[in-house]
Copies of this chain bind each other. A is one copy, B any other.
Amino acid sequence: MNREAFYKLTYGLYLVSSLRGEKKNGFVSNAVFQVTSNPPQIAVVCNKDNFTSQLIKDSKLFSISVLKKDANPKLFGLFGFKTGATVDKFESVKHITAKTGAPIVVEESLAWFDCELINTFDVGTHNIFVGQIIDSDLLDSESEPFLYSYYRDVKKGKAPKNAPTFIANK
């Protein structure tokens, strides 16, 4: 098996958010993809240890913000490498409240999706959460999305340890 092959898979970069009561949280994900068009459903792969994972399972709702190219690195530090169990990630980040009640990060974002959890599929260390899209909006039609390959190759960004693409010995 040649692990270099994995780097030829293409992903964007997203913030996936949810809440439980007053507690909001979110994490950086590269594994977001539309699964059906009718009805519009979107899936996100989430490590079971992620704090946001617990919030999504409990509240059955989540949002996805599509990060724009060269989004402020503070978002990666905050959403990618800290746990919401001890930090309020939303305190310093511009966000709105979705129809479902989920928080949506609009800072550094091109577009967003507001989702109701329909299915949770167990794939081992991670779950695939499938949500029906209740609402969506485009915030910036001109800018390009942040590609995971650009983050990794040009910006020299690392995958958080809970990412589906994390490789320990790289």
- Interface residues of chain A, those whose CB is within 8 Å of chain B, are 1-6, 8-12, 31-43, 45, 66, 110-113, 119, 121, 123-126, 128, 130, 133-138, 141, 145, 147-149, 163-167
Q: List 27 A-B contacts (CB under 8 A).
A: A1-B133, A1-B134, A1-B135, A1-B136, A2-B111, A2-B138, A5-B138, A8-B111, A8-B145, A9-B12, A9-B66, A10-B11, A10-B12, A31-B34, A33-B45, A34-B164, A34-B165, A35-B45, A36-B45, A37-B163, A37-B164, A37-B167, A39-B124, A43-B45, A43-B123, A119-B121, A123-B130
This chain: copies in complex:
2
Min distance, Cβ A137 to any Cβ of chain B, angstroms: 5
Closest-by-CB residue of B relative to A140 is B8
Q: When the two chains form the complex, which single residue of B3, B34, B141 contacts A6, counting CB atoms closer than 8 Å?
A: B34
The interface residues of chain B lying within 8 Å CB-to-CB of A43 are 45, 123, 128
B residues within 8 A CB of A135?
A: 1
Write out the residue numbers on chain B whose beta carbons fall within 8 Å of the beta carbon of A126.
35-36
Starting from the known contacts A31-B33, A37-B125, 9 additional A-B residue pairs (CB-CB under 8 Å) come to A1-B133, A3-B136, A5-B138, A8-B138, A34-B165, A35-B128, A37-B165, A39-B124, A145-B149
- Known A9-B66, A130-B123; contact A2-B37, beta-carbon cutoff 8 A: no
Q: How far is it, in angstroms, between the C-alpha of A119 and the C-alpha of B128 when the chains are bound?
A: 12
Q: How far, in Å, is A27 (CB) from chain B's closest CB?
A: 16
Please give, as numbers and ranges, the residues of chain B lying within 8 Å of A112 by CB-CB distance: 5
Determine the chain B residues whose CB is within 8 A of the CB of A31 once the complex forms. 33-35
Residue of A1, A3, A5, A166 ringed by the most chain B CB atoms within 10 A: A5
